[in-house]
Amino acid sequence: MKLPLLFTDELRGFYKSKLMLILWIGLPIIALLFRFAQTTSTGQDIPFTVISTIVISSLAGTLSSVMLAVSIINEKNRNVYTLFLIRPLKRRELLLAKFLSVYICVTIASLLAVFVGMTTDYITTGMLSTKLIDNTAQSLVTSLSMLAVSCAAGVLIGVASPSVMVGAILVIYGGNQISVIPLMPTILNITYATLFTTTTTLLTCSLLLIAAIGLFERKQF
């Protein structure tokens, strides 16, 4: 079982390549900028916590799927995987390590952005209502679900695409649209939306990852 080793290795890679830092600092900053732009343009205040979750689900989703797709395509084309695949490990462990490390990185970035949002709301309004906290928690579940689907789609696109250009196009046209799936129970106003969102996410992620692993297992390097 080499997954824990590959996972920590990937995390170290993100840390070393400054990607982690950019995400963790960048996402809360972008959320703050959105808040500022929203206040000055309409004069009406939407709770910052809500803005944060919107930023997370749209921006972080795209970022994570692009990060995964591009890194897999690059590493595939530069024969990086060859040195891993000739060692006693399972091919699927490579992909799962990548998926988990990026997902955990963007999850932390998302939580940071929401934390910044809640702190800002608390400072500006002097309180955090129970309703706001409930809504935020629900939005966060949806956002993190969408992120998970985006990451899984990024892995599949990375494995299937022959070039970075094709990968980027597929992520923009396909990956982002698939990530809307976890949002459907909320849009359709289904009872127990959160439960349905979680179940849909698990199913979609599993299907996307199984497809990616299947392709990767058959790939002749």
Partner 1 sequence: MSPRNFRNQFVVLREVTKKYGGLTALKKISFEIGEGEIFGYIGPNGAGKTTTMKILVGLLTDFEGEVYIGGFQVPKQKSEVHKLLGYLPQSVGFQEWRTVDHALKTFGKLSGLTETEIEKRITEVLDLLALSEVRHKKIAQLSGGMTQKVGLGQAILHNPKLLILDEPLNGLDPLSRYQFKEVLLKLSKGGTTILFSSHILSDVQDVADRIGIINRGQIKQVGTLNELKEHLAEQRTVEVLLTYATDKWREFQNIKHVKSVEQPSVGRILVNIEKGSDPDDVMNDLAQLIVKQKIRIRGINLLSPSLDDIYQKYVQEGESI
Taking the least distance from each CB to partner 1, the nearer of 71 and 197 is: 71
By the rule CB under 8 A, 9 interacts with partner 1? yes
Backbone angles phi, psi at 38, to 5 degrees: -65, -40
Choosing from 88, 127, 131, 188, the residue that interacts with partner 1 (CB under 8 A) is 88
| Interior angle at CA 202, CA 198 and CA 206, nearest 5 | 170
By the rule CB under 8 A, 91 interacts with partner 1? no
Taking the least distance from each CB to partner 1, the nearer of 86 and 123 is: 86
Choosing from 30, 89, 166, 211, the residue that interacts with partner 1 (CB under 8 A) is 89
Cβ within 8 Å of residue 111, ≥6 positions away: 140
Contacting partner 1 within 140-159 (CB under 8 A): none
**Distance separating alpha carbons of residues 119 and 129, to the nearest angstrom:** 13
**Distance separating alpha carbons of residues 30 and 131, to the nearest angstrom:** 25
Contact status, residue 136 vs residue 42, Cβ threshold 8 Å = no
- Shortest Å distance, C-beta 81 to partner 1: 8
By the rule CB under 8 A, 180 interacts with partner 1? no
Q: Which residues bind partner 1 (CB under 8 A)?
A: 2, 5, 9, 12-13, 16-17, 75, 78-80, 82-89, 220-221
